[in-house]
Amino acid sequence: MNWFNIGLTLDTLGKVLLGITVLMVHWHVLKEHKIDADVLRTMKREQVLGVSAILLIISGYVLQLLFH
Domain locations along the chain: 3-67
| DSSP sequence for 1-68 | --HHHHHHHHHHHHHHHHHHHHHHHHHHHHHHSS--HHHHHHHHHHHHHHHHHHHHHHHHHHHHHHH-
pLDDT digits (tens, 9 = 90+) for 23-61: 887 777 777 777 778 877 887 887 888 888 888 888 888
Q: What is the pTM of this model?
A: 0.66
In this prediction, residue 11 carries a pLDDT of 86
In this prediction, residue 17 carries a pLDDT of 85
